[in-house]
Structure formats: C-alpha cells, structure tokens
C-alpha cells in the first residue's frame, strides 16, 4: 500500500516515520482561511477534507493501492480560533491568551483508501475531528518573549509546539499528544485498519 501525506508539515511527516511509514508528500493547494462564523471544529474538518480531495482527485489510475492521509490542526480558546501567528507580536499575544488557562487543540483527520483489486474510482474514506484539552501554567512576559525569540512558534497553530520549547508550559493534557502535534496516530491507525490498511509496525 502506497501512503500519500497530503500535507507539507514536517511534524506530520516525522510522526508517520515514527511508526515506520515513509509516505510520499504531496502538498495540496487549498483555502486555509477561516470562513465567517465558522467554528474551530468545522474549520479543521473542512480544511482536512479539502486537502484530501485536492490530492485524491489528481491521482487518476495511479490511485489503486493508495492511502491518502490529510490533516489540519488549530487551537481554540474561549471560542476563539488561534491559527498560525502572523508575526512575533501576534505570537506573544496568543501565548499571553493561553497563559494560565485551558484550551483545546482540534485536528481534522481525513483518510481515504483505494485498496488493491478495486478500480481507481473506488475509494473508501473517513473524515473526523480529534480533540484534546491542554492546560498551560501561568507564563511570565519574559519567558513568552524568550520563547517567541527562538522562532519556533511562528509557523505553529496557537504559537507553540508541545513537543518543543513549549513542553515546559504545560500543566497537563487530556488526549493524544500526537494529535496535539498535528496527526493523531492512534486514531489514524484505527481508521486505516477499518479501510483494510495496516499502518503500525
């Protein structure tokens, strides 16, 4: 089974490699802006599904024996979506908003398979949202600014990487850590198994 990762995220690629999967990376061209009045869960579900479809629809006869995996992650606090910061000042503001409180991390996960023996037009697919809860301790202005100065938060939803420098900001979590990073591996392997594909080692 060929696996295609419909995402340019190096973190998602690393997560798949960690379970022994070496996917082909295809970066889809989709609209990732938040639509008016769109909630965080609807947002990541739509974007993940759009990424999946953008890649799947271009495979044609090459589809048979292929699993396509797409995902999109965002942070939600008090009903507000925190996507990737626009600049360092925006990252500082986001981390200040997260300081000392709970927030949720939502990852839209879209998976489709064209298993061997089927026609290239025969796909089975699944789209869902996997969520986790994260509690940050109270952060000082100095430590927020020092973290932002590393550059790590600038391409991350919510302006932080739980697997990186922000791990010390976390009091506790409820949910799958890999989902907070950007690809919930446990759920992905379950979905793939339901589509007849074994992903884990």
Strand partners, 25: 5
The CA distance from 68 to 15, in Å, is: 15
72 tagged catalytic: yes
Q: Which of 29, 72, 90, 122 is catalytic?
A: 72
Could you give the residue numbers annotated as active site?
72
């Amino acid at each position: 089974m060929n696996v295609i990762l419909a995402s340019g995220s190096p973190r998602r690629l690393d997560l798949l490699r960690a379970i022994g999967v070496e996917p082909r990376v295809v970066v889809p061209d989709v609209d990732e802006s938040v639509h008016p009045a769109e909630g965080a869960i609807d947002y990541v579900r739509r974007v993940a599904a759009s990424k999946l479809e953008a890649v799947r629809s271009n495979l044609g006869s090459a589809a048979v024996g292929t699993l396509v995996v797409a995902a999109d992650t965002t942070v939600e606090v008090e009903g507000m979506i925190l996507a990737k910061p626009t600049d360092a000042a925006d990252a500082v503001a986001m981390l200040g908003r997260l300081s000392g409180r709970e927030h949720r991390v939502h990852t839209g996960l879209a998976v489709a398979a064209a298993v061997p023996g089927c026609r290239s037009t025969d796909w089975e697919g699944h789209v869902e949202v996997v969520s986790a809860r994260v509690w940050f301790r109270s952060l000082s202005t100095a430590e927020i600014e020092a973290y932002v100065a590393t550059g790590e938060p600038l391409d991350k939803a919510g302006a932080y990487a739980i697997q990186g420098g922000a791990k010390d900001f976390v009091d506790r979590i409820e949910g799958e850590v890999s989902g907070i990073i950007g690809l919930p591996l446990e759920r992905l392997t379950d979905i793939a198994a339901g589509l007849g594909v074994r992903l884990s080692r």
